[in-house]
Amino acid sequence: MPSPELTPGSRGYIIPIGGAEDKVSAKAILKRFAHLCGGTDAVIAVVPTASVDPETPDRYRRVFAEVGVRNVKVLDVQRREDATAATTALLDATGVFLTGGAQLRLSTLLGGTDVARLLRRMNALGVHVAGTSAGAAFLSEHMIAFGKEGGSPLAGQATLVPGLGLTNRVIVDQHFRQRDRMGRLLSSLAYNPFAIGLGLDEDTAAFIGPDNKLEVVGSGAITVVDAGGLEHSSMATVDEGKPVEMIGVRLHVLVEGSRFDLHARRAFPAPEPRPHG
């Protein structure tokens, strides 16, 4: 469960990113994250645990320096025994960024450790936490570990495991349109429709504020799948690999500037552009 806020509205932003965020030109998502964390005064801790690429830490050091962040730390956790010592790198961070890679590396190496407990507590106290690709999937309480691609939900299509637990309101799937993942997000919600599904396109982020309202930032879209009003699901009765019947699902496709209230389960369009002339 998420750590309790000390005062209402004190929680930091939770920012899942669909992967392949722009690191070269506009860098809109990373600039917005850096600004939230304090701009030139920000202290950002990068957690590259999901990745086995040795160049990942330096890549994010460089890109955060390019958006004006002068103080970037790397939390080097490649074994569970590293997690306790690594907490010192988090203590003065104003933002934490979890890189992409394999989300099961995050859950198996960080789950239940001092790092995971400290990240939940820091977010409750106001520190902003972002994750891209695998890092995005790991942020919520329920994480899609793996699953088959395709547009229709199938029984057994997605395997869920415990994630970091910053929020229990969403289930995140990344690289959404690029990898045809509607079916596995729907099947994840068919197990228990309490959470809201967020299908994040690449270079697209959900900036979830302490008021549980999210704003879309980036060049793609977020597909919001709301099964809160589900009238019928056949998940409990169909055979493995067979299509799952779901009646009463609501779907929204949101683009940059659009908002969604996770508490009220209500979508709001992006502001209309002002006419020229």
Asked if 222 contacts 31 with a C-beta cutoff of 8 angstroms, the reply is no
pLDDT interval class at 6 (50, 70, 90): low
Within 13 Å, how many C-alpha atoms sit on residue 17's CB side?
26
136 with 19: CB under 8 angstroms?
yes
Model confidence pLDDT, tens digit, residues 54-88:
999 999 999 999 999 999 999 989 999 998 889 99
| Pairwise CA distance, residues 23 & 215, whole Å | 20
pTM, whole model, 2 decimals? Answer: 0.96
What is the rounded CA–CA span in Å between residue 130 and residue 18? 11
Q: Give the rounded distance of the alpha carbon of 57 from its chain centre.
A: 19
Task: Provide the percentage of residues in the chain whose pLDDT is more than 90.
Answer: 91
CATH superfamily of 14-261: Class I glutamine amidotransferase (GATase) domain (3.40.50.880)
DSSP conformation class of 117: H
C-alpha pair distances (Å), 154 with each of 49, 145, 242, 247: 31, 16, 5, 14
Non-local (6+) Cβ contacts of 114 within 8 A are 83, 84, 87
Would you place residue 27 in the very low, low, confident or very high pLDDT band (cuts 50, 70, 90)? very high
Active site residue 55: no
Active site residue 133: yes
Q: Is the pLDDT of residue 121 over 90?
A: yes
CB 50 within 8 A of CB 100: yes
Catalytic residue among 21, 107, 142, 202: 202
Identify whether 142 is a catalytic site residue: no
Spot the catalytic one: 175, 187, 215, 233.
175
Residue 147: predicted pLDDT: 95
State yes or no: pLDDT of 99 exceeds 70.
Answer: yes
Domain range summary for the chain, segments of one domain joined by +? 14-261
Residue 276: the pLDDT is 64
Res 3: pLDDT = 75
Average pLDDT, the chain: 95
Q: Judge whether 46 and 82 are in contact, CB under 8 Å.
A: no
Give the mean model confidence (pLDDT) for residues 256-262: 98
- At residue 1 the predicted structure's pLDDT band, cuts being 50, 70 and 90, is low
Tokens standing for residue 49: 């645990």
The Cα 246–Cα 59 span in angstroms is: 42
Can you tell me the mean pLDDT for 26-46? 98
* Low-confidence winner among 86-90, 119-123, 217-221 (lowest mean pLDDT): 86-90
Region of residue 112 (left: phi > 0; alpha: psi -120 to 50; beta: else): left
Task: Average the pLDDT over 164-190 and give the result.
Answer: 97
The residue annotated as part of the active site, out of 21, 51, 128, 133, is 133
